[in-house]
Amino acid sequence: MVQSSVLGFPRMGVLRDLKKANEAYWADKISQEALLAEGKRLRLAHWKIQKDAGVDIIPSNDFAHYDHVLDHIQLFNAVPERYTSQKLSPLDEYFAMGRGHQKGGVDVPALEMVKWFDSNYHYVKPTLQDNQTFSLAKDPKPVREFLEAKEAGFQTRPVLVGPVSFLALGKADRGSSVDPITLLDKLVPVYVELLKQLKAAGAESVQIDEPVLVFDLRPEVKAAFKPAYEAIAAAGDAVPKVIVATYFGDIVHNFDVLPAFSGAAGLHVDLVRNPEQLEPVLKQLGPNQILSAGVVDGRNIWKNDFAKSLEILQTAVKALGPERVIVATSSSLIHTPHTLASEKKLPSDVYEWFSFAVEKVKEVATLAKAVTEPEAVKAELEANAAAIKARTDSKRTNDPAVKERQAQVTPEQHNRKAPFNTRYAEQKKHLSLPLFPTTTIGSFPQTSEIRVQRNKFTKGEISAEEYERFIEKEIELAVKIQDELDLDVYVHGEPERNDMVQYFGERLNGYVFTTHAWVQSYGSRCVRPPIIVGDISRPAPMTVKESKYAASISKKPMKGMLTGPVTCLRWSFPRVDVHQSVQCQQLALALRDEVVDLEKNGIYVIQVDEPALREGLPLRKGQEREAYLKWAVDSFKLATAGVENSTQIHSHFCYSEFQDFFHAIAALDADVLSIENSKSDAKLLKVFIDEEYPRHIGPGVYDIHSPRVPTLEEFKQRIEEMLAYLKPEQLWINPDCGLKTRKWDEVKGALSHMVEAAKYFREKYANKA
Ligand SMILES: CN1c2c(nc(N)[nH]c2=O)NC[C@@H]1CNc1ccc(C(=O)N[C@@H](CCC(=O)N[C@@H](CCC(=O)N[C@@H](CCC(=O)O)C(=O)O)C(=O)O)C(=O)O)cc1
Ligand SMILES: N[C@@H](CCS)C(=O)O
Ligand SMILES: [Zn+2]
């Protein structure tokens, strides 16, 4: 029989229950026991959903209170000494690594958090020492949760981050220079011990995730698979059967690694992203190995096209026989919302087009049956075919006016009127900014008061006028605080925005949006990606009213704030019937009109955020990357190039890994770039000198993900480090990203130190001049 399996289930619960419980615990509103009990309730509920749907192989240890990679840092006792020395409870130590800890006399920053492959999920980077050791944590979480499931009547397959991926996704701690992969010998015995304990607990098989196999790998990393998996195979029946899982790309270029898995029971591959890898993968499998065929998309919300999936599955079954094929989600479902059933406001025609996690779980089970017994699921197959046909035939997707405008785009529309030096001279006159200008990235605290008022407005409990007045008052507050802090370029604070992408999605034609479709972004933070269902256009200005009001009450330049086309695309659920470059250009044209309207209304500094530009980069180097960068950069330029020379275009990226596509960042031709830098080595900025980057840069001087307020000295030290790589006249002083997740007292504390540090350097360099 063909079996069905799920690689991981969303953790948050129907109503973001985990977010609420975590945040209540952090605010000292519930006890540790209550939080752990809520975690258990969610795990049991999620296992039940999968069992009830008829899924054969249900994951455990996919749940995490903050992040699953962080779980493994604690599992392998790879916790840096600065946390262990605080003698916190294991749960508080865990959260301290995830989000920093500044209470009860303990003051320790968070570990670095970065994007999980090309998704909008963030993981905590294993941070390793020169003298790193590993050992298995007491009462290991995967064993504990396996037993918890077993006691409740669920036989599960534990999910682990593989030893090679764990190390390859890690980094040396500041002050250490170890190449994490050289620590493999020390990690593998701990791994084997963990697998033995799982087997003893009753686990028949484990899913070991080695997603780094989709990357171009360094020879050292490639070579690590053999010893790691041979050691696991050598443990024989003392360990569970191993399914090695890869996702988000193809692994054909790493086939030379596959002999390392000859002792494994099977291999999982992503056949949504790369269906063409099926044939070559089938040829690589050993005589008894299983193929776990990822055909149900873990990254998008479109209903599975059963006919297409069945074609893939039949090919696999023909080659291997039904016993050696598992129907699976392409990746963990943490990238999809919990259930479509919560959506009461979607137009009825489009409702039928979607599947969220709960529905995808059913799709996996149905497909597994359909491969060998189509008659048993005849009704489901027919309903699916009808839904797919309705989607294909829909008129919603096609807007001739949008297509007409796209056909008329010219190369000249992508370029500013003059090169940077000419523009900058005009901007300098126009904006009269000091050396080391200070600014913020856009958002200020989204207080519960703001969320409550927005919720009341959405429900019709307050009028549009009342809500507008409330937003104006929030903008007034933001301006007043910036006056007090003495910042140089102001922002209006984005109080009217629920989210930087959802807000635009709600104002553009071609989108639909949801009420409950939350997806975890990091820790307790979730996003509700809008869904692109058709051609995109802008029916009316989207941000002009708020920016214009903010500028009218501000004595300093007010930055207009937009989300760029690539980010709007990447952080939405995109269409799958039209190439992403086409959708991105439609977004760019809509945003171009907004940029020009802002300028017409007296906004002369405009930031167009593109934090998702890096994340969209194809995971492997080569032609695909270049093609992506071409349309992504062109879209940004098309969106921003309609303004006069004297208008200053900013862009923002909250990541520090730009070395490998620096030419694209430079090609954006933004006058000022703000980037994330506070948690990485300032020497990453060297690329700006090496490449003789002429424009202005604001490397973030503090980590906004943590509630911790850095000291003045920390700011000065960070700026000093940056000045080793950037010219003083190029350097802007700003945080890593927006401040929406912070509280006002944290923001005021941190920004007052930031401004004081900027003034210190301003004075120092003025004296030098
Ligand atoms: C910059 N980042 C972003 C990413 N992706 C995005 N789409 N947006 C981003 O900003 N990716 C990379 C990073 C990740 N960072 C963050 C930072 C912060 C959040 C965050 O704070 N998310 C919020 C939810 C935001 C939101 O949409 N809020 C809505 C709904 C608010 C709500 O919860 N309403 C309640 C009722 C109201 C009440 O009574 O309180 C409800 O619906 O139940 C809004 O403000 O209107 C979060 O809370 O997680 C995400 C990613
Ligand atoms: N302007 C946005 C950018 C986040 S990446 C903000 O400040 O929240
Ligand atoms: Zn950001």
pLDDT tens digits, one per residue of 162-209 = 999 999 999 999 899 999 999 999 999 999 999 999 999 999 999 999
Q: What residue owns the CA closest to ligand 1's atom 15?
A: 521
CA of 729 to the centre of ligand 3 (A): 23
In this structure, the number of other CB atoms found within 10 A of the CB of residue 682 comes to: 20
pLDDT digits (tens, 9 = 90+) for 385-426: 999 999 999 988 899 999 999 999 999 999 999 999 999 999
Place of tokens 């910042």: 487
CA of 106 to the centre of ligand 2 (A): 29
Q: What integer is the mean pLDDT of 524-531? A: 98
Comparing CA positions, the residue from 643, 487, 628, 488 lying closest to residue 562 is: 643
Minimum-distance ligand to the CA of 451?
A: 1
Quote helix, strand, coil % in the chain, to nearest 5: 50, 15, 35
Comparing CA positions, the residue from 607, 651, 647, 646 lying closest to residue 492 is: 607
Tell me if 1-394 shares its fold with 395-431+498-674: yes
Is 584 labelled a binding residue?
Answer: no
CATH number for the segment(s) 1-394: 3.20.20.210
Give the rounded percent of residues in the chain with a pLDDT score beyond 90: 95
CA-440 nearest atom, ligand 2? 7
Helix (H, G, I), strand (E, B) or coil at 180: helix
Helices (H), 445-579: 448-458, 464-485, 502-505, 544-552, 565-570
Minimum-distance ligand to the CA of 122?
A: 1
Q: Is 611 in the pocket of ligand 1 (CB under 6 A)?
A: yes
Confidence band for 128, pLDDT divided at 50, 70 and 90:
very high
- Please say whether the structural domain 395-431+498-674 has been given the CATH code 3.20.20.210: yes
Q: Is 64 in the pocket of ligand 1 (CB under 6 A)?
A: no
Is 571 labelled a binding residue?
Answer: yes
The answer to whether 738 and 723 are in contact (CB under 8 A) is: no
Minimum-distance ligand to the CA of 570?
A: 1
Q: What integer is the mean pLDDT of 446-474? A: 97
Comparing CA positions, the residue from 641, 642, 674, 640 lying closest to residue 658 is: 674
Task: Tell whether the model's pLDDT for residue 344 goes beyond 80.
Answer: yes
What are the sequence ranges of the domains in the chain?
1-394, 395-431+498-674
- On whether ipTM exceeds 0.90, the answer is yes
Task: Tell whether the model's pLDDT for residue 436 goes beyond 90.
Answer: yes
pLDDT digits (tens, 9 = 90+) for 131-157: 999 999 999 999 999 999 999 999 999
Q: Is 446 in the pocket of ligand 1 (CB under 6 A)?
A: yes
Q: Is 455 in the pocket of ligand 1 (CB under 6 A)?
A: yes
Task: Tell whether the model's pLDDT for residue 533 goes beyond 70.
Answer: yes
CA-516 nearest atom, ligand 1? 42
pLDDT attached to residue 769 = 54
CA of 506 to the centre of ligand 1 (A): 14
CA-458 nearest atom, ligand 1? 46
Weakest mean pLDDT among 465-469, 655-659, 730-734: 655-659
d(CA 121, CA 731): 30
Mutate to test the pocket of ligand 1, among 527, 568, 656, 676 (most ligand atoms within 8 A of CB): 527
Confidence band for 622, pLDDT divided at 50, 70 and 90:
confident
Give the rounded percent of residues in the chain with a pLDDT score beyond 70: 100
Mutate to test the pocket of ligand 1, among 499, 514, 519 (most ligand atoms within 8 A of CB): 499
The answer to whether 537 and 402 are in contact (CB under 8 A) is: yes
CA dihedral 51, 55, 59, 64 (to 10 degrees): -60
Q: What integer is the mean pLDDT of 78-95? A: 97
Is 568 labelled a binding residue?
Answer: no
Minimum-distance ligand to the CA of 495?
A: 1
Q: What residue owns the CA closest to ligand 1's atom 13?
A: 521
Task: Tell whether the model's pLDDT for residue 657 goes beyond 90.
Answer: no
Confidence band for 684, pLDDT divided at 50, 70 and 90:
confident
pLDDT attached to residue 683 = 85
Q: Is 76 in the pocket of ligand 1 (CB under 6 A)?
A: no
CA of 501 to the centre of ligand 2 (A): 10
Q: Is 182 in the pocket of ligand 1 (CB under 6 A)?
A: no
Active-site residue, 492 included: no
Ligand 3 ion: Cβ-proximal residues, 5 Å cutoff: 611, 654, 737
Average pLDDT for the chain = 97
Q: Is 740 in the pocket of ligand 1 (CB under 6 A)?
A: yes
CA-563 nearest atom, ligand 2? 1
The answer to whether 166 and 176 are in contact (CB under 8 A) is: no
CA of 229 to the centre of ligand 3 (A): 39
Question: Ligand 2 — pocket residues by CB below 6 A?
Answer: 441-443, 500, 561, 609, 611, 652, 654, 737-738, 740
- Per-residue tokens: 454: 């927005």
CA of 269 to the centre of ligand 3 (A): 32
Comparing CA positions, the residue from 72, 148, 69 lying closest to residue 112 is: 69
Task: Tell me, rounded to whole angstroms, the distance of Cα 354 from its chain centroid.
Answer: 21
**What predicted TM-score, i.e. pTM, was given to this entire model?**
0.96
In this structure, the strands spanning 101-103 and 558-563 are unpaired
Confidence band for 238, pLDDT divided at 50, 70 and 90:
very high
